[in-house]
Amino acid sequence: MTISTAPVPVAAEAPAPGEPTKKRRLWAWLIFIGGAIYFLVPLGATFYWSLRAEKDVLGFEAYRRLFEDSRFWPSFTESVVNAVAAIILSLLIIVPTAYWVTLRLPKLRPVVEFITLLPFVIPAVVLVFGLIRLYGRPPLLLTRTYGSSRVLLVCAYAALSFPYMFRSVDNGLRAMDVRSLTEAAQSLGAGWATILRRVIFPNLRVALLSGALLTFAIVIGELTIALFMAQHTFGPYMAELTRSKVYEPSAMAVVAFAITWVAMGMIALITRSGQRR
Amino acid sequence: MSEAFLSLEGVRKEFSGVVAVEDFNLEVAPGEFVSFLGPSGCGKTTTLRMVAGFEPPTSGTIRLAGEDVTYAKPNERNIGMVFQSYALFPNMTVSENIGFGLRIRKEDGTARESRVAELLDLIHMPDKGKAYPRELSGGQQQRVALARALAIRPQLLLLDEPLSALDAKIRDELRAEIRRIQRQLNITTVYVTHDQEEALALSDRIVVMSRGRMEQVGVPFEIYNNPTTGFVASFVGQLNRLPATVIDRDEGRLRVGSGEVRTTSGIESEPGTEVSLMMRPEELTLDAEADNVLQGTVEAVTFLGSIVRVQVAVDGGRLTADLFNERLLVLPVAGDSTQISFPAHACWVMV
């Protein structure tokens, strides 16, 4: 067999398309590094600052003081409970709505999508004054006690989560054949509640989790609404800490950041394992 | 025929003013297998969905086992349904899918398990109970969907193009399977398809539909051999159509191009009327001796294995002949001049 001449032109051509690729890759790296610096330097500086609570020694003194603060855990737990309640409320509103829109009112999808996006458009300050003005006067008087204000706060958080929740649920619903699954379940004798509980919710698991974790990440450190409703949650606690302490707020920022990242990591993990299944 | 088990009377469906189905009247006997056959958009699926309860009819009555179910909810009809897209619940195993309807009916655990095992045997998948739908092939998924629909012991089984998403080979296998199971359980079945071969092979009776109307109802043999409308004749099977002019009504003589042909099926038109002469490709031969012989030129020859399809241009039109393949067959070649012939009983006239 003679040596084929075919590879020669290929070899000759190779550097030509290779060069722009290399160039592009270099740019990609530069942009990535630039972005990384932009995000990591403040974070690193904050972390470094948080380690300097003791004179001349780097250590976790600020974290120790933070965790020992009598108000840290109560405010943190309160925010976690609020977040969980908001997630559940949001799910109960969004899942049936998105399901019904997909199944029966597909023409209304843009409208519903727009409505769920409103929390992005309306600043939290505006939202909270609206809420207080509407629900804080007779006959509702929801802002009268701490408990009833908290209910109002959870409702507001549920609304804040709509953009994330609707998007993930909608994606999840699009990924399955909602109509056929519904009709199959119907012909087997299932009613609406059963279909939602046994068919729709279980198949939305991954989508719901990612929506829920995003909601959790937002609610846990939310400041504006909680502050105006005079709630002793994590957000106002962090803000107050910033005003009165030097090193603890940095420690706090790192902790809050870690919580968010853990939430994000869990989304990635769950989504990936969901795809593998 | 015994008393109708499923009956549709004057059923009509409009979607925002557009008529999807009209004047649909049908009685289905217990244990009968009826197919709705037609092109997409002919209203066959809409009709099936009205029987299932997913769409309320605009007017008309649907009766099932003597009961008026026209406006009954789908989950109160006890009808098993199989979908083109399988529609298995992805979060449940095969066994859980099959047992879903029984669970809804609150049947207790052991009864449910034995019923599920029974159905897994019926579909020849006894060891797949723990598998998830995504681990199965399309054909297996559709078997499971069939088992799930049958598990609830439905009064009626509805199948909406169940084989359309499958490969040809699997399709033939599953087709035979569906017929076997239907016979074995003697369950009244309505089957929707656009595939005439499927309808002919499976059905006791076929309803051919076009543009929201029933064109013809009959057993497969009748639908194929005695189509009553031009639509049925051309939709079911291949068909030759030659323009012809009536010469003599009583003798069945017609002029085709410059030649003359004879038919034994009746002619209703006056002499001189322009009509169409219809015949099936498998009834044409290239022999020189027959009741009707036309001269022509071979245009194309397609070898299809068991059949050789020959297209011949004749004076006044073009004819397709399907010849059975045999080893001694001499294949004609395009450009050959030939005669093409058919018996008088094989052709009929349509206006």
Report d(CA A207, CA A172) in Å as an integer.
Answer: 5
pLDDT recorded at residue A239? 85
Written as one string, the DSSP assignment of chain A is: -PPPSTHHHHHHHTHHHHHHHHHHHHHHHHHHHHHHHHHHHHHHHHHHHHT-SSTT--SSHHHHHHHHSTTHHHHHHHHHHHHHHHHHHHHHHHHHHHHHHHHT-GGGHHHHHHHHHHHHHS-HHHHHHHHHHHHSSTTT-TTSSHHHHHHHHHHHHHHHHHHHHHHHHHHHHHTTTHHHHHHHHHHTT--HHHIIIIIIHHHTHHHHHHHHHHHHHHHHT--HHHHHTT---HHHHHHHHHHH-SSHHHHHHHHHHHHHHHHHHHHHHHHHHHHH-
Handedness of CA B185, B189, B192, B195 (dihedral sign): positive
Per domain, the residue ranges of chain A are: 20-64, 66-276
Contacts of B54 in chain A (CB under 8 A): 183, 186
Query: What is the average pLDDT across A138-167?
Result: 85
Instruction: Give the domain B238-350 fold.
Output: OB fold (Dihydrolipoamide Acetyltransferase, E2P) (2.40.50)
pLDDT recorded at residue A13? 44
Least confident of A52-56, B69-73, B301-305: A52-56
pLDDT recorded at residue A228? 83
pLDDT in tens, B170-183: 888 899 999 999 99
Q: Is the pLDDT of residue A4 over 60?
A: no
Q: Is the pLDDT of residue A51 over 80?
A: yes
pLDDT recorded at residue B289? 82
B79 Cβ under 8 Å from any chain A Cβ = yes
pLDDT recorded at residue A12? 42
Give me the percent of chain B exceeding a pLDDT of 70: 99
pLDDT in tens, A251-264: 888 888 888 788 77
Query: What is the average pLDDT across A157-185?
Result: 91
What confidence category does residue B53 fall into, taking pLDDT thresholds of 50, 70 and 90?
very high
Query: What is the average pLDDT across B16-42?
Result: 93
Nearest to B75 among A189, A202, A277 (CB): A189
Mark yes or no for CB contact A183/B74 under 8 Å: yes
φ, ψ at B141 (rounded to 5°): -60, -40
Query: What is the average pLDDT across B308-331?
Result: 89
Mark yes or no for CB contact A184/B78 under 8 Å: no
What confidence category does residue B54 fall into, taking pLDDT thresholds of 50, 70 and 90?
very high
Residue A35 tokens, joined: 């972005």
Instruction: Tell me if A215 sits within 8 A of B130, measured CB to CB.
Output: no
Domain B6-234 has CATH 3.90.220.20: no
User: How far off is chain B from A159, nearest CA to CA, in Å?
Assistant: 29
pLDDT in tens, B228-266: 888 998 888 888 989 999 998 888 899 988 888 999 888
Coil, strand or helix at B342: strand
Handedness of CA B61, B62, B65, B71 (dihedral sign): negative
In Å, how far are A75, A152, A235, A252, B239 from A224, measured between CA atoms? 15, 14, 8, 18, 77
Burial of B110 (0-12, 13-18, 19+ CB in 10 A): exposed
Give me the percent of chain A exceeding a pLDDT of 70: 90
Report d(CA B189, CA B179) in Å as an integer.
Answer: 10
Coil, strand or helix at B304: coil
φ, ψ at B192 (rounded to 5°): -105, 130
pLDDT in tens, A218-236: 888 888 888 888 888 888 8
Least confident of A120-124, A158-162, A179-183, B189-193: A120-124
B100 Cβ under 8 Å from any chain A Cβ = yes
What confidence category does residue B28 fall into, taking pLDDT thresholds of 50, 70 and 90?
very high
Q: Is the pLDDT of residue B148 over 70?
A: yes
**C-alpha angle with apex B191: B186 to B196, nearest 5 degrees?**
120
Query: What is the average pLDDT across B310-329?
Result: 89
B54 Cβ under 8 Å from any chain A Cβ = yes
pTM higher than 0.80 for the full model? no
Nearest to A183 among B81, B86, B148 (CB): B81
**C-alpha angle with apex B145: B119 to B169, nearest 5 degrees?**
100
pLDDT recorded at residue A85? 93
Report d(CA B44, CA B207) in Å as an integer.
Answer: 9
State chain B's mean pLDDT as an integer. Answer: 91
- Which residue has tokens 């016979």? B183
What confidence category does residue B1 fall into, taking pLDDT thresholds of 50, 70 and 90?
very low
* Interface ipTM > 0.90: no
Helix (H) or strand (E) run with residue B330 in it:
none
Contacts of A189 in chain B (CB under 8 A): 75-76, 78, 101, 104-105, 152
pLDDT recorded at residue B220? 94
Q: Is the pLDDT of residue A8 over 80?
A: no
Report d(CA A59, CA A45) in Å as an integer.
Answer: 14
Least confident of A4-13, A213-222, B89-98, B173-182: A4-13
Report d(CA B321, CA B326) in Å as an integer.
Answer: 15
Mark yes or no for CB contact B75/A176 under 8 Å: no
Q: Is the pLDDT of residue A14 over 60?
A: no
User: For chain B, where do the domains classified as CATH 2.40.50.140 start and end?
Assistant: 238-350
In Å, how far are A94, A162, A175, A262 from A169, measured between CA atoms? 8, 10, 10, 21
Contacts of B152 in chain A (CB under 8 A): 188-189
Nearest to B87 among A177, A190, A198 (CB): A177
pLDDT recorded at residue A256? 80
Q: Is the pLDDT of residue A151 over 80?
A: yes
Instruction: Tell me if B280 sits within 8 A of B238, measured CB to CB.
Output: yes
Considering only alpha carbons, which residue of chain A is nearest residue B49? Answer: A183
Query: What is the average pLDDT across B51-57?
Result: 93
Q: Is the pLDDT of residue B82 over 60?
A: yes
User: How far off is chain B from A97, nearest CA to CA, in Å?
Assistant: 20
Report d(CA A9, CA A7) in Å as an integer.
Answer: 6
User: For chain B, where do the domains classified as CATH 3.40.50.300 start and end?
Assistant: 6-234
Q: Which residues contact A208 (CB under 8 A, 6 or more apart)?
A: A91, A95, A168, A169, A172, A201
What confidence category does residue B115 fall into, taking pLDDT thresholds of 50, 70 and 90?
very high
B104 Cβ under 8 Å from any chain A Cβ = yes
Q: Is the pLDDT of residue A17 over 70?
A: no
- Residue of B128, B194, B209 lying closest to B163 (CA atoms): B194
φ, ψ at B229 (rounded to 5°): -125, 160
State chain A's mean pLDDT as an integer. Answer: 83
Q: Is the pLDDT of residue B80 over 70?
A: yes
Instruction: Give the domain A66-276 fold.
Output: MetI-like fold (1.10.3720)
Q: Is the pLDDT of residue A2 over 50?
A: no
Report d(CA B303, CA B311) in Å as an integer.
Answer: 12
B89 Cβ under 8 Å from any chain A Cβ = yes
Residue A84 tokens, joined: 């969980």
What confidence category does residue B269 fall into, taking pLDDT thresholds of 50, 70 and 90?
confident
- Cβ-based interface (< 8 Å): residues of A facing B: 176-177, 180-181, 183-191, 194, 198-199, 202-203, 205, 277
Mutate to test the interface with B, among A104, A183, A188 (most CBs of B within 10 A): A188
